[in-house]
C-alpha cells in the first residue's frame, strides 16, 4: 500500500477512496442533520460495515476543542476488541453497541494501513 498522507488532518477522504476502490462502496449520507456522516454498506445485504463521522472531541473523552473524524467498525471478537480499545486511537463504539463496535480516530493516531485492516475485518464480519 502506498504512503497515504492526512488530508486536512484526517484520513477520511483516503479511507473513502480505499473502500470505493476495494469494495466499490459509495458512501450513503442518510441524515439531513448530520450531512457529513457517511454509512459504508454492503451492496448485497445493505448491512453497515462502517460509519464515518465528525464528532466533538470532548464527547469521545479526548482533550481539546473542536471535532475529529472517526470511523466506527464492527469487531465482535471480544479479545481483539478489548486489546484494541487499550491502544491510542481506539475507543469503544461511539453511538453503537460498545461490545461489538469500535471507534477509530482518523487523525493520524492510527496508521492508515492499520485502519484499512480494521475496516477490512468489519467488511468480512458483516458479509452475507
Q: Look up residue 24 and give its three cell numbers.
A: 466499490
Query: What DSSP string runs through the chain?
Result: ---PPPBTTBSHHHHHHHHHHHH-PPPB---STTTT-EEEE-TTT--EEEEEEEEEGGGGT-SSSSEEEEEEEE---HHHHHHHTTSTTEEE-TTS-TTTEEEEE-SSSS-HHHHHHHHHHHHHHT--
Q: Over the stretch 10-45, which tens digit does the pLDDT of each residue have?
A: 999 999 999 999 999 999 999 989 889 999 999 999
* Overall average pLDDT of the 70-75 stretch: 96
The answer to whether the Cα torsion of 121, 41, 52, 100 is positive or negative is negative
By residue count, the chain amounts to 128
pLDDT value, residue 2: 67
Whether the Cβ atoms of residue 20 and residue 79 lie closer than 8 Å to each other:
no
* Overall average pLDDT of the 100-128 stretch: 96
The confidence band for 5, taking pLDDT boundaries of 50, 70 and 90, is confident
CA dihedral 90, 57, 107, 70 (to 10 degrees): 60
Q: Specify the residue for cell string 481483539.
A: 80
pLDDT value, residue 45: 95
Amino acid at each position: 500500500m502506498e504512503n497515504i498522507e492526512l488530508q486536512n488532518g484526517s484520513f477520511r477522504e483516503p479511507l473513502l477512496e480505499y473502500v470505493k476502490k476495494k469494495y466499490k462502496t459509495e458512501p450513503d449520507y442518510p441524515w439531513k442533520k448530520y450531512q457529513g456522516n457517511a454509512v459504508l454498506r454492503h451492496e448485497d445485504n445493505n448491512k453497515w460495515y462502517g460509519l464515518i463521522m465528525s464528532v466533538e472531541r470532548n464527547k469521545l473523552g479526548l482533550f481539546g476543542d473542536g471535532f475529529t473524524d472517526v470511523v466506527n467498525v464492527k469487531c465482535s471478537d471480544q479479545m481483539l476488541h478489548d486489546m484494541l480499545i487499550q491502544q491510542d486511537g481506539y475507543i469503544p463504539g461511539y453511538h453503537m453497541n460498545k461490545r461489538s463496535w469500535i471507534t477509530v480516530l482518523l487523525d493520524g493516531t492510527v496508521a492508515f494501513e492499520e485502519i484499512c485492516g480494521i475496516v477490512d475485518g468489519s467488511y468480512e464480519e458483516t458479509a452475507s
